[in-house]
Amino acid sequence: MLLQDILAAKRDGQALSSEAIRQFVMAIADDSAGQEQIGAFAMATYLNGMTLDETVALTEATRDSGSVLDYRQLDLPGPILDKHSTGGVGDPVSLILGPWLAACGAHVPMISGRGLGHTGGTLDKLEAIAGYDVTPRRTTFERLLKDVGVAIVGQSGDLAPADKRLYAVRDVTATVASLPLIVASILGKKLAENLDALVMDVKIGNGAFMANDDETRTLAATIADVARRAGTPTTAVLSDMNQTLAESAGNAIEVRECLAIMRGEQRDSRLLTLTRRLAVEALLAGRLATSKEDAERQLEARLASGDVAERFERMVAGLGGPTDLLENAGALPAPAPVIQDVLAEHPGRVARQDVKALGMAVVELGGGRRRAGDAIDHRVGLDAIAAIGQTVDRHTPLARIHAASQADADRLAARVREAFTLGDEGTPPPLVHETLC
């Protein structure tokens, strides 16, 4: 079939066959489709949508457009599990969840991304640790997966290459916000990890990738459905992003918060609670636990034994970081030179956080990128972020700014203050809105 015939069918609102979709995606991957054809495909799909069958075909073709990980020669004793998030602010779940699942007997080939827009990125956080290499050799990745049980790394060029090209075209043709294209893009990459089960953490709320809650629910349901039909059992958890998950947002600051949790120094936090909920789903899906209670019991035992922190340390060491991260404060950059409170104008209770604004404040401080390729200052960001329902006053700030200079702190203080609304309501939103499997 000519590519233009496929385009004409999609333009005219017809459902494409799996073969036609696969042919088009392979043409994207091997560069035989021109940029204008890819743009036309993206726009026709954006305007006319896709059926569930077409979305499954697009996802499978994206997954198969490059190499799919193969673990047969590793002879792994446990299931291969992973979690993926649609992106949040103050959301370093992966850093704790990966080693936690590994401590319970899973193998976690966690291929992660960088910050996008107002959201933070797992790789940017890990690169706050001196020496951490997110692009290790294949043999290093495989050794860690087998011996430590977890390797959190970046995407290599041969994983779902069609998505890379299609995403770049979508970005400049106003076609990012298309449900089938988003689903195939996210899952095409994740399913190339060849998992036994996946947990998708779909963020819902004002800081989520999709601002509209109904669209987010549809995204979660479609992801779970498409992934399952593509052969990977998947649980989608709709978790709250109407406030930052962690008490901090910013690369090294979030790593410190994660280390405190893994060391057992911080037992009561939303970050720990959500991470545990996601881990329970993963252990059940991977048949490492027989019930929710069994999963929770295993998770508590592994955390209390220090195994989670130790596995994180071993993964960091295996990827070029220090061998003694848990004891070595110098592996993370020194705190930012300016750390100052952002106080509310009058005492009150936090009723709302504008999470997107807080994420953009971290980017503006230098903790994220305004343009691809920008350098990141791992020291900067926010901590002591007041949660919804929390009382603030002259002594309890809305947040603390960590800035590279006094000028940056002064410039961003008003922006951070305006991101909080004080009021009488202040009822904390649920941490998990819904679980779909």
The answer to whether 243 touches 356, Cβ cutoff 8 Å, is no
Residue 113 Cβ, how far from ligand URA at the closest point, in Å?
A: 7
Scanning 57-65, 178-186, 300-308, 344-352 for contacts with ligand URA by CB under 6 A, the matching segment is 178-186
Told to check if 85 binds ligand URA by CB under 6 A, we report no
d(CA 43, CA 55): 15
Look up 122 and say whether it is catalytic.
yes
Told to check if 55 binds ligand URA by CB under 6 A, we report no
Look up 75 and say whether it is catalytic.
no
DSSP string across 377-395: -TT-EEESPPPTT-EE-SS
Look up 427 and say whether it is catalytic.
no
DSSP string across 255-271: HHHHHHHHTTS--S-HH
Q: Pick from 50, 103, 182, 252: which binds ligand URA (CB under 6 A)?
A: 182
CA dihedral angle for residue 358, residue 364, residue 366, residue 367, rounded to 10 degrees: 20
The answer to whether 245 touches 90, Cβ cutoff 8 Å, is yes
Strand order in the sheet with 391-392: 391-392, 348-353, 420-422
Residue 181 Cβ, how far from ligand URA at the closest point, in Å?
A: 6
Look up 125 and say whether it is catalytic.
no
Catalytic residue among 22, 63, 84, 402: 84
Told to check if 119 binds ligand URA by CB under 6 A, we report no
Q: Pick from 55, 62, 94, 185: which binds ligand URA (CB under 6 A)?
A: 185
In this complex, which beta carbon is closest to ligand URA, that of residue 182 or of residue 202?
A: 182
Half-sphere exposure of 393 (CA within 13 A, CB side): 2
The answer to whether 386 touches 392, Cβ cutoff 8 Å, is yes
Catalytic residue among 125, 190, 203, 433: 190
In this complex, which beta carbon is closest to ligand URA, that of residue 8 or of residue 177?
A: 177
Amino acid in position 32: S
Burial grade of 128 (CB within 10 A; 0-12, 13-18, 19 or more): buried
In this complex, which beta carbon is closest to ligand URA, that of residue 58 or of residue 96?
A: 58
Told to check if 122 binds ligand URA by CB under 6 A, we report no
Q: Which residues between 186 and 225 bind ligand URA (CB under 6 A)? A: 186
In this complex, which beta carbon is closest to ligand URA, that of residue 152 or of residue 261?
A: 152
d(CA 10, CA 5): 9
Scanning 179-187, 217-225, 369-377, 398-406 for contacts with ligand URA by CB under 6 A, the matching segment is 179-187
**H-assigned helices in 192-291:** 213-229, 251-262, 270-285
- Angle in degrees, CA 155, 175, 213, rounded to 5: 85
Closest by Cα among 280, 213, 202 to 239: 202
Scanning 49-57, 65-73, 181-189, 391-399 for contacts with ligand URA by CB under 6 A, the matching segment is 181-189
In this complex, which beta carbon is closest to ligand URA, that of residue 36 or of residue 171?
A: 171
Count of residues touching ligand URA (by CB under 6 A):
5
Catalytic residue among 22, 170, 302, 356: 170
Told to check if 28 binds ligand URA by CB under 6 A, we report no
In this complex, which beta carbon is closest to ligand URA, that of residue 185 or of residue 242?
A: 185
Scanning 136-144, 175-183, 281-289, 297-305 for contacts with ligand URA by CB under 6 A, the matching segment is 175-183
Look up 190 and say whether it is catalytic.
yes
Told to check if 50 binds ligand URA by CB under 6 A, we report no
CA dihedral angle for residue 95, residue 98, residue 103, residue 109, rounded to 10 degrees: -140
Half-sphere exposure of 53 (CA within 13 A, CB side): 7
Look up 201 and say whether it is catalytic.
no
In this complex, which beta carbon is closest to ligand URA, that of residue 203 or of residue 433?
A: 203
Told to check if 45 binds ligand URA by CB under 6 A, we report no
Look up 185 and say whether it is catalytic.
yes
Strand 420-422 and strand 348-353: the pairing is antiparallel
Helix axes 292-305, 93-103, angle to 10 degrees: 100
In this complex, which beta carbon is closest to ligand URA, that of residue 87 or of residue 381?
A: 87
Told to check if 108 binds ligand URA by CB under 6 A, we report no
- Positions annotated as catalytic residues are 82-85, 122, 170, 185, 189-190
Judged by the rule CB under 6 A, the positions of this chain that interact with ligand URA are 176, 181-182, 185-186
